[in-house]
């Protein structure tokens, strides 16, 4: 499954076009390599997504073509969620 579709179906990113844009800017890494929007993702891949202030690291658990809201969280496991600057503590 393409990374842009995975991010949309898993509901990590709401729109596939937004996922494509983030990937094309070089802010998504799969197993340590920069990913394009068309890069394939498989179970047990580690995906790192750099949002502005936040870096999210997930482990792909399974691939589903379509999901309901409750099933989306079965697709991945969050391994870390880091902030460059944590505004919640200020």
Give tens-digit pLDDT for 42-77: 999 999 999 888 899 999 998 888 778 877 888 899
Model pTM score = 0.83
C-alpha 18/C-alpha 73 separation (Å) is 20
Q: What is the pLDDT of residues 32-43, one digit of tens each?
A: 999 998 899 999
Domains of the chain: 3-83 (3.10.290.10)
Q: By CB neighbour count within 10 A (0-12 exposed, 13-18 middle, 19+ buried), where does 62 fall?
A: exposed
As a whole number, mean pLDDT of residues 5-13 equals: 91
């Amino acid at each position: 499954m393409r990374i842009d579709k995975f991010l949309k179906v898993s509901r990590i990113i709401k729109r596939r076009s937004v996922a494509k844009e983030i990937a094309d800017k070089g802010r998504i890494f799969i197993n340590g390599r920069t990913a394009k929007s068309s890069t394939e993702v498989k179970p047990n891949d580690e995906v790192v997504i750099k949002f502005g202030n936040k870096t999210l690291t997930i482990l792909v658990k399974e691939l589903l073509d379509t999901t309901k809201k409750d099933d989306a969280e079965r697709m991945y496991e969050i391994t870390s969620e880091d902030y460059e600057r944590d505004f919640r503590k200020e």
